Every structure is written in structure tokens, then in C-alpha cells.
């Protein structure tokens, strides 16, 4: 497996105990505005999986980094402990959800501790405890008082397998499947409690623009989910076709309508009323009231609605009825279809079809043989008349200028929308949303009881605050809802009239629990309020939130909503809960998502016992940027482990005086100094942005340089000690146990957890230019040796560019002249190099677009001198780094800025 390992288990246990004894991660209640770093709390399902480990390593590394930078850091953890899987697991194992859940929490907490996550466990919260869910109930009654909760008879998504109602968000869109069990979802009518998230739809969507610390993808998903559209509602008269009053000619079927075939004005919604002259059909959703009536009388409609309609399909489908709709502006009679792409829960369930200017309508019209008419032309060039576009193949969907639109011809789309909305009888501006109110009722046991008593006289009465929490009764293993079966619990007296009454037996969606849990951490034990208001005002919002992209619309939208209601009604001074959000990528195996069902799961525990938590953490953080998916790789794990082992060996050898040292700081010490600076600058910038792989790479390369230095010659003790101290600190956020151990080995005081983050003044661009120069030069030497077949180079001369070429490069970069050579020749210092200057000028002219500023010749010389030892060591040859003036003319002539000339003697 590995030869040169270390006793990681002993190291990790030792420091976990030491941190624990010292309460190293405790944040006192009187901390002022700490940096709040939070990972989405897990559902206690049994074991930590790789996704958890990645998520929590990200927050832990960032929390540790901020702490070393001097911040007070709030980094808590808790348990999203209610939910259906616990109930199912309890049934399978003949236990109860509570015991099962707490067993899982025990296990997972132990695993978190073994990963070295630095949480303030004093702030742990568990949502299935009455101490927590009491406040869900309080929140619900507050919503009721503010008119933000109501009971409604509603058609709900019903999973027949889970026997529960699902929120829209829990129905997976492609095929309308249950998010838990993949069963096709049905609909049912039930009395449900709703929270009025739609009241906040505008603020929720408007403020997304301000959430600059959120990924664009999540912001766009929320915008789409809320789905705000500004448009016009307008009325179409729908009735039997006047021109076909004796039957449907095409299909030749007899008509069986009575007198009820006139439907009057039917409301439609459009965002493009400017295209109304191009409306060539009218379409109804399959569950529009008119469609439902037609289903009874028209076999073709019946067949379509029950057997053919496929709202999720790629193609729009529909069936023609024998009705017509009158275009309110032209008076034209449009054929009416029942079509599956019209959704009743979006808009009015009826729309005008404009195939010339809408892609979906176009596809439908082609399929159904409906006319396609252009009525919007692209904005013409200066003075020209607008010209109707050819829409026979494809719709023109942009705004433009109206044509074929009677008196409205020549108007721009935006103005036409205004005018038409004003002119059309019964039309009005309207904003519609895709967002629906949040149905929170669940017919399940393992959740927060909804604190309502149903009284035959008083109706639905909220349980008074002083009687909260309404605690769950003991679990009853039944196929239905256990709360319904808990007779003794269920029967109670009405809080208002004292008469016999029954409790609400539905529980809340667990997303209620997670919609405010981040507030509970500020005062987890408070028993007279959900959170300490002053402290929440000081500590909130969460500065850095990390979790999976799957929460983009549910949890992250509900949390924003609830935060806003608390701001409006409870004095919270923050309207958004999370300033910065990182959605971490997946840990995959051979390109596939790890999942139990596929059997391709790598257990974090196995890695921890074989290589240690530090290795697992380091591998994860160096494998990819946190947002990206990456493949688990045993080789990657081993290489992380090897690095840590070597690092440990180096520090120990230094501390034990086993490394030959000198007091003299030669050029190599200078090189190491530059590398220290580089590592600090890069790591600091990248930790700030949570780009851990780049942050860690610099520190690892510094350790590599030190090992080479030690192997090459006697080291300058002071420089090496400083470098080790820096490397330990830079790696401590990612590999905290080993770095704690090495910090002690090096003889430093206190925990590295509390050590001061190193600083450096250098700027990153210069550092990177210097590193690239050295790396490219080494690569050039390798190529020459290779191409020329040099077995044993004796001496390598590296000649830095003459100053005039550097000057010429800068002149070329600054020049606006079409040909740069003339401009170069105005500089005497360049001109006097005659033919060389002309020929270099020619090169610059040809590569002008790609020219970049380089280090000046003196800085280049110093950088290469300090790195010469690396080349000497690699090729076992004498290396001379020369200024152009000190080198033989023929070699010097080949040197260019950032591309020194190289001459190798065998």
C-alpha cells in the first residue's frame, strides 16, 4: 500500500482531543459580528457520504482560514432530523423514527469528529426535538396572525406509494415523479395549509440581482422558478363556428351539442399583445373548464385529453374543436384547439397562438396546418420601410415594428403593447408568476405537528403560544397517518370554546424546519423565543453558505421568504439570509454520481481509517475547484498521503537537527524567500475565493522546493524555518491535524488553529511572471538537451535579454501606429542596433496582438540567478546566468524578453 506512511490515527485522535479539551471552536455569545460560515445541515440518514465530506471540508477549511486571519468565526452544525426516510426506516426495522434518527445522528457526529471538522458543538441543533419544533409551530401561528397562512381546499400532488402530498418542488419535472420514490404522481383534492410565499414574489425576484455572492446558475433557477411575466389579459369570445354550423366538415362527425355551446368571453394571457394581428388560432389547456366540458361531448377531445396529451413531451400536441374564438381586434374567427402545451396553472389556461412570432406556436401551426402570418418586422435601417420577415420556416421572436396590423402599423412593439392594452375592451396589464403558495401539509408522522385544533363550532383554531409545543405522540406503526391513529392524542378540547375538538393530524413539510435553522444557531438554547433578536441582528446574515445545487429552488427560496417575513414582523434587521453561496460539485466515480443503488460508493470512513482524515480532506480540496464535479481516484488519495508523509518527515528532520544548515543566506535562500512570498500571496487570494486547489498547490510546491534544497546543499536555517512555519500555516485549514502536530514539532506556541495567517507584500502578477520565466527556461533547457542529444552537459549559459529589446517591446505595446517599426526607430537606443532592431521590430509587428509586458532585464536576471541551482541540480552542470552585456554577442543576440538565450556546452 505505502512504505513511508505515518501513524495518522494517533495524530488525528490526539489533536481532536486537544481541540475538544480547549474548546478550540467555541464561539462565545458576546462575540461581535463573527464571520458566519455554514454548511447545509445533513439529513441523518445513517452515514456520512462523500458529498457531505466535501461540503463540510469546504466550510471547515474556510472557517479555519478566516479564524487564522483574525476573525471570530461561527461555524455550527446540526441535524435536519425530520422526514419520511426515518419513518420508512423505522417501519422496516420495527423501531420508531426517533430512535432511528438519534442513532444515525450519533454515528454521523462521530464521523464528523473523526474528519476534524471544527464545529462549535455547544450550538448543535436537532430539528426533531420539541425544543426546536416548538418554534416551527410558533412561526406557523405568527404566519396565521399576519395573514400569511391559510387553509384551502386544493388539488395536490399525491404520491400513492409514499401516501403523502408533495409540494410542486418535490415532483420531478421531466416525468412528474415523486422525488423520493420515483412513482408517477397523481392529483387529489385535500384541505391543505399554505404559506403565502407569492406575497413576496416580487421582492424575491427583484432582490436576486443584488445577490452577487451567489452563483449565476442558482440565481437564474430562482428567477425561472418564480417565473414572473409582464403582459396583458384579454378576452376572446368563444362559441360554435358560425361558418360550420352544421357540423365539423373535415371529420364529418355528427355534432351533438345542445344550446350550451356559447362560452362567452374567455380570458387569455399574453406577453406579446403586439402580435395580436398575427393570431391564427386559439388554444385551451386540457383541464380548462371548456376542455373539460368538451371531453364529455366530443370523442376526439376525450381521446386527446385522456390518451394523447403529453405536457412534458418535446412536441406540442393538440386536437381541433368545432369552436371558434373571435380575435378582439380583427373580428376574425380563429380555430380553437385543446393543446397540451397550454398549462392551466400558468396564466389563464388559454392563449392566442401566434405562429409567426413564437417558436412553440410555430411548431404547432405547422403540425396542424394553421396559417403563419408575420406581423412584426425587424427594426429597419435609417429611413427604410419595415419589411415583414419570412416566417415560413422559423418564427421571428424579437421585438420590432408592427406590419400587417392595420392602424397600428409602424409602431414599435413596446408602444404597441401599451396602445393595444388600452384600446382593447376588457384588456388590462397583468403580471403573472409561475410561483405558487407553499403547501406545507404532509400526511405523515415524522414532522412538526401543525398547531391547529378543529372545532365543530369555531373551525380551525390555532393552539395558543403558551401551549406550544404540540408534541408528537408515540409512533404507531400503521399504513396510514400515525397521527390519525393516535386517538388519545387526537382528541382534545377547543382552545376557544372548550368543547370537544380534534387536532390537525397533518405535519409540516420539513422545509419549514430548514427555512430558519440558521437563525437558531445564534441562540440554540433560548426557550422564550426562536432566536435572540439582538444577536441575530449582529451575527446574521450567513457570510458563506455551502451546499448542493439541488437546493437551488426549495430550501434557498423558502429561507429567503421566511427571513423576509421575520424582517417585516419580528424585527429582524436582515432581509436576506445568505450573503455568499457556494454550490459544491459532485464527487463521482468513473464519471458517474456515486449512489447506493449503482453500488459505486466509496466510503469516507474507509479512506479515513486507511489514510486518515487529513489525506481525505487534502485530496478533495486539491482535486478540483469546489464548484466542479470530480472523480474519486485512489491514486489521488495516495499522492495526497505521500505528500503529507514527506512534509512530516521534512519538518521532523529539521526539528531534530538532521538537516545540514549554514548561517549564510546564499542565492538559494533568496529563491526560497521568493517562493515563500509567492505561496503566501497565492494562498491568501485563493482561500479568500474558496479556490482551495490553487491555494494548496502553492504551499505544496514550497514544501517540494525545501526538500530539493535540503538534498542539494546545506540550507540556510532561518529561511527554512520560516518557510516551514509558513507552509504549515497555509496547509492547516485543509490538513489541520498533521499541521497541528508539525506546528508543535517546529516548537511554535499554541494551536496552529489560532496561529496568525502569514502575510506578504508582493503582487501576484510579478510572482507569476517570475515563476513562469523560471519554469519556461527550465523547459527550454530540457528541450535543447533532448533535441541536441546532449548526454552530459558541462556548462549551461542563460543569457538575459538586452535592455533595448525590453524597451522595444514596451514601445510596441504602447504604440497605436499601424506599423510599429517606424515608431521604434525614433528611439536612438533602439535604432542604433540597426539590422537587429529592424528584424526584432518585424517580429514584434507580426505578433502584436499577443504581446505582453515582461519583467525588466534586471529582475529577470535576479530571478534566473536565484533559480540557477534548480537547473544545476537537474542537469548536474555548471549554470551561468548572464546579462546580455556580459555574454558572447552571438548568444546575446538570440535573447528576448522573458525568453533568455540558452547555450549549452558538452
Interface with Zn ion by CB under 5 A: which residues?
159, 161-162, 178, 180-181, 183, 455, 457-458, 494, 496-497
Q: Which three three-digit cell numbers place residue 80?
A: 435536519
| Rounded distance between C-alpha atoms, residue 716 and residue 710, angstroms | 10
Q: Give me the helix-helix angle, 736-745 and 8-22, nearest 10°.
A: 90
CB closer to Zn ion out of 163 and 303: 163
Adjacency order of strands within the sheet including 73-74: 73-74, 35-39, 542-548, 578-584
Indicate the residue among 160 and 247 with the shorter CB distance to Zn ion.
160
What minimum distance in Å lies between the beta carbon of 486 and Zn ion? 21
For the bound state, the minimum distance from the C-beta of residue 285 to Zn ion, rounded and expressed in Å, comes to 26
Q: Which residues of 675-695 are buried (b: 16+ CB within 10 A; e: fewer)?
A: bbbbbbbbbbebbeebbbbeb
CA distances from 174 to 171, 752, 786 (A): 9, 50, 57
Nearer to Zn ion, 497 or 653 (CB): 497
**Minimal distance, residue 44 CB to Zn ion, in Å:** 20
Q: Determine the Cα–Cα distance for residues 507 and 501; give it in Å rounded to an integer.
A: 18
Write the CB contacts of 521 (distance below 8 Å, at least 6 apart in sequence). Answer: 38, 74, 76, 78, 123, 125
In the sheet with 592-593, reading across from the earlier edge strand, the strands are 592-593, 587-589, 630-631
Alpha-carbon 310 to chain mean position: 31
Q: Among all chains, which residue has been given the C-alpha cell 446540526? A: 78
- Taking the complex as a whole, the smallest distance from the CB of residue 481 to Zn ion amounts, in Å, to 15
Fill in the DSSP letter of residue 464: P
Rounded Cα distance between 711 and 76, Å, is 44
Do the Cβ atoms of 334 and 325 come closer than 8 Å?
Answer: yes
Q: How far is the CB of 550 from Zn ion (least distance, A)?
A: 17
Smallest separation, CB 360 to Zn ion (Å): 31
d(CA 771, CA 782): 17
- Least separation, in Å, of the C-beta of 86 and Zn ion? 15
Q: Shortest approach of Zn ion to residue 183 CB, angstroms?
A: 5
853, 855, 864: which is closest to 887 by C-alpha?
A: 864
- Residue closer to Zn ion by CB (options 22, 181) is 181
Which grid cell sits at 600? 459505486
d(CA 401, CA 862): 66
Q: Are 883 and 861 in contact (CB under 8 A)?
A: yes
Task: Tell me how far, at minimum, the Cβ of 182 lies from Zn ion, in Å.
Answer: 7
Considering beta carbons, is residue 379 or 457 the nearer one to Zn ion?
457
Enter the C-alpha cell of residue 380: 429597419
Q: What is the DSSP string of 186-229?
A: EEEEEEEEEE-GGGGHHHHHHGGGG-TBS-HHHHHHHHHHH--E
Task: Please say which residue, 72 or 176, places its beta carbon nearer to Zn ion.
Answer: 176
Cβ proximity to Zn ion, 181 vs 529, nearer residue? 181
Closest distance between Zn ion and the C-beta of residue 764, in Å? 52
Strand pairing partners for 38? Answer: 545
Distance in Å, CB of 775 to Zn ion, minimum: 56
- DSSP character string of 258-299: -STT--EEEEEEES-GGGGGG--EEEE-TTSHHHHHHHHH-H
Of the pair 161, 217, the CB lying nearest Zn ion is at 161
**CA dist list (Å): 870 to 370, 700, 716, 774:** 76, 17, 16, 9
Query: With respect to Zn ion, which residue has the nearer C-beta, 494 or 781?
Result: 494
- Report the residue number, 92 or 590, with the smaller CB distance to Zn ion: 92
Q: Closest CB to Zn ion among 181 and 653?
A: 181
- Of the pair 35, 481, the CB lying nearest Zn ion is at 481
Nearer to Zn ion, 158 or 438 (CB): 158
Cα(first)–Cα(last) distance of the chain, in Å? Answer: 42
Buried b (16+ CB within 10 A) or exposed e, 787-825: eeebeebeebbbbbbbbbbbbbbebbeebeeeebbebbe
Which CB sits closer to Zn ion, 458 or 553? 458
The whole-angstrom separation of Cα 417 and Cα 164 is: 44
The 10 Å CB-count burial string (b at 16+, else e) for 660-672 is ebeeeeeebbbbb
Smaller CB separation from Zn ion, 180 or 255: 180
Our measurement of the distance from residue 163's CA atom to the centroid of its chain's CA atoms, rounded to an integer in Å, reads 32
CB of 496 to Zn ion, least distance (A): 4
Are the CB atoms for 131 and 69 separated by under 8 Å? no
Q: What is the DSSP letter of 304?
A: I
Q: How far is CA 283 from the centre of its chain?
A: 38
Q: Tell the smallest beta-carbon distance from residue 38 to Zn ion (Å).
A: 30
Q: Which is nearer to Zn ion, 161 or 595 (CB)?
A: 161
Q: Which is nearer to Zn ion, 25 or 511 (CB)?
A: 511
Amino acid at each position: 500500500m505505502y512504505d513511508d506512511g505515518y501513524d495518522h490515527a494517533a495524530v488525528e485522535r490526539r489533536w481532536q482531543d486537544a481541540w475538544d479539551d480547549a474548546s478550540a471552536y467555541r464561539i462565545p455569545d458576546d462575540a461581535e459580528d463573527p464571520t458566519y460560515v455554514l454548511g447545509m445541515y445533513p439529513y441523518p440518514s445513517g452515514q456520512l457520504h462523500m458529498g457531505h465530506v466535501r461540503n463540510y471540508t469546504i466550510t471547515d477549511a474556510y472557517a479555519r482560514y478566516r479564524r487564522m486571519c483574525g476573525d471570530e468565526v461561527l461555524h455550527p452544525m446540526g441535524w435536519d432530523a425530520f422526514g419520511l426516510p426515518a419513518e420508512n426506516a423505522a417501519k422496516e426495522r420495527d423501531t420508531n423514527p426517533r430512535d432511528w434518527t438519534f442513532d444515525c445522528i450519533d454515528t454521523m457526529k462521530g464521523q464528523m469528529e473523526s474528519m476534524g471538522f471544527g464545529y462549535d458543538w455547544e450550538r448543535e441543533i436537532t430539528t426533531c426535538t420539541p425544543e426546536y419544533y416548538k418554534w416551527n409551530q410558533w412561526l406557523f401561528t405568527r404566519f396565521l396572525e399576519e395573514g400569511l397562512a391559510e387553509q384551502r381546499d386544493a388539488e395536490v400532488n399525491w404520491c400513492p406509494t409514499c401516501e403523502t402530498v408533495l409540494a410542486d418542488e418535490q415532483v420531478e419535472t421531466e416525468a412528474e415523479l415523486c422525488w423520493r420514490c420515483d412513482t408517477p404522481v397523481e392529483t387529489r383534492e385535500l384541505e391543505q395549509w399554505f404559506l403565502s410565499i407569492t406575497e413576496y414574489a416580487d421582492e424575491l425576484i427583484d432582490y436576486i440581482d443584488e445577490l452577487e455572492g451567489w452563483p449565476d446558475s442558482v440565481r437564474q433557477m430562482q428567477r425561472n422558478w418564480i417565473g414572473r411575466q409582464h403582459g396583458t389579459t384579454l378576452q376572446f369570445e368563444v362559441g360554435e363556428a358560425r361558418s360550420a354550423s352544421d357540423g365539423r366538415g373535415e371529420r364529418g362527425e355528427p355534432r351533438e351539442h345542445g344550446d350550451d355551446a356559447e362560452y362567452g368571453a374567455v380570458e387569455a394571457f399574453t406577453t406579446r399583445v403586439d402580435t395580436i394581428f398575427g393570431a391564427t388560432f386559439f388554444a385551451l389547456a386540457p383541464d380548462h373548464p371548456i376542455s373539460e366540458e368538451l371531453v364529455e361531448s366530443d370523442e376526439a377531445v376525450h381521446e386527446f385529453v385522456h390518451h394523447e396529451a403529453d405536457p412534458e413531451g418535446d412536441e406540442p400536441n393538440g386536437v381541433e374543436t368545432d369552436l371558434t374564438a373571435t380575435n378582439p381586434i380583427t373580428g376574425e374567427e380563429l380555430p380553437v384547439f385543446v393543446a397540451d402545451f397550454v398549462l392551466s396553472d400558468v396564466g389563464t389556461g388559454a392563449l392566442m397562438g401566434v405562429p409567426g412570432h413564437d417558436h412553440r406556436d410555430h411548431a404547432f401551426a405547422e403540425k396542424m396546418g394553421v396559417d403563419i402570418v408575420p406581423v412584426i418586422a425587424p427594426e429597419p435601417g435609417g429611413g427604410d420601410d419595415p419589411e415583414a420577415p419570412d416566417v415560413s420556416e422559423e418564427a421571428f421572436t424579437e421585438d420590432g415594428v408592427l406590419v400587417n396590423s392595420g392602424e397600428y402599423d409602424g409602431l414599435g412593439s413596446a408602444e404597441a403593447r401599451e396602445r393595444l392594452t388600452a384600446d382593447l375592451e376588457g384588456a388590462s396589464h397583468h403580471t403573472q408568476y409561475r410561483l405558487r403558495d407553499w403547501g406545507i401539509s404532509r400526511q405523515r408522522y415524522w414532522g412538526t405537528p401543525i398547531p391547529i385544533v378543529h372545532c365543530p363550532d369555531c373551525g380551525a383554531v390555532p393552539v395558543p403560544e403558551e401551549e406550544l409545543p404540540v408534541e408528537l405522540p408515540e409512533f404507531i406503526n400503521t399504513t396510514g397517518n400515525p397521527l390519525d391513529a393516535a386517538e388519545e392524542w387526537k382528541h382534545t378540547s377547543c382552545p376557544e370554546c372548550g368543547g370537544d375538538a380534534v387536532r390537525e393530524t397533518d405535519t409540516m413539510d420539513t422545509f419549514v424546519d430548514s427555512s430558519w435553522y440558521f437563525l437558531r444557531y445564534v441562540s440554540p438554547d433560548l426557550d422564550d423565543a426562536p432566536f435572540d433578536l439582538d444577536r441575530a441582528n449582529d451575527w446574521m446574515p450567513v457570510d458563506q453558505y455551502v451546499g448542493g445545487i439541488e437546493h437551488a429552488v426549495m430550501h434557498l427560496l423558502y429561507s429567503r421568504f421566511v427571513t423576509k417575513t421575520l424582517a417585516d414582523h419580528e424585527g429582524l434587521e436582515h432581509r436576506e439570509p445568505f450573503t455568499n453561496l457556494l454550490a459544491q460539485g459532485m464527487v463521482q466515480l468513473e464519471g458517474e454520481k456515486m449512489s447506493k443503488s449503482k453500488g459505486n460508493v466509496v466510503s469516507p470512513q474507509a479512506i479515513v481509517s486507511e489514510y486518515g482524515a487529513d489525506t481525505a480532506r487534502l485530496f478533495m480540496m486539491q482535486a478540483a475547484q469546489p464548484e466542479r464535479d470530480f472523480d474519486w481516484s485512489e491514486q489521488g488519495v495516495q499522492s495526497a498521503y505521500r505528500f503529507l508523509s514527506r512534509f512530516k518527515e521534512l519538518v521532523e528532520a529539521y526539528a531534530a537537527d538532521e538537516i545540514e544548515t549554514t548561517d549564510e543566506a546564499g542565492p538559494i535562500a533568496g529563491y526560497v524567500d521568493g517562493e515563500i512570498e509567492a505561496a503566501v500571496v497565492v494562498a491568501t487570494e485563493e482561500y479568500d475565493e474558496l479556490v482551495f486547489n490553487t491555494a494548496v498547490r502553492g504551499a505544496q510546491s514550497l514544501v517540494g522546493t525545501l526538500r530539493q534544497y535540503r538534498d542539494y546543499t546545506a540550507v540556510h536555517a532561518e529561511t527554512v524555518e520560516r518557510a516551514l512555519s509558513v507552509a504549515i500555516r497555509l496547509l492547516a485549514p485543509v490538513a489541520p491535524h498533521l499541521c497541528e502536530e508539525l506546528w508543535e514539532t517546529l516548537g511554535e506556541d499554541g494551536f496552529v488553529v489560532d496561529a496568525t495567517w502569514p502575510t506578504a507584500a508582493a503582487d501576484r502578477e510579478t510572482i507569476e511572471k517570475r515563476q513562469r520565466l523560471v519554469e519556461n527556461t527550465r523547459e527550454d533547457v530540457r528541450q535543447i538537451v533532448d533535441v541536441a542529444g546532449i548526454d552530459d552537459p558541462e556548462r549551461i549559459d542563460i543569457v538575459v535579454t538586452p535592455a533595448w529589446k525590453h524597451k522595444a517591446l514596451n514601445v510596441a505595446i504602447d504604440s497605436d501606429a499601424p506599423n510599429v517599426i517606424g515608431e521604434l526607430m525614433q528611439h536612438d537606443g533602439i535604432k542604433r542596433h540597426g539590422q537587429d532592431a529592424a528584424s526584432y521590430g518585424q517580429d514584434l509587428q507580426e505578433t502584436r496582438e499577443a504581446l505582453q509586458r515582461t519583467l525588466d532585464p534586471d529582475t529577470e536576471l535576479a530571478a534566473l540567478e536565484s533559480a540557477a541551482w534548480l537547473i544545476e541540480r537537474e542537469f548536474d552542470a555548471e549554470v551561468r546566468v548572464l546579462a546580455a552585456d556580459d555574454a558572447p554577442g552571438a548568444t546575446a543576440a538570440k535573447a528576448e524578453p522573458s525568453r533568455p538565450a540558452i547555450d549549452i556546452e558538452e
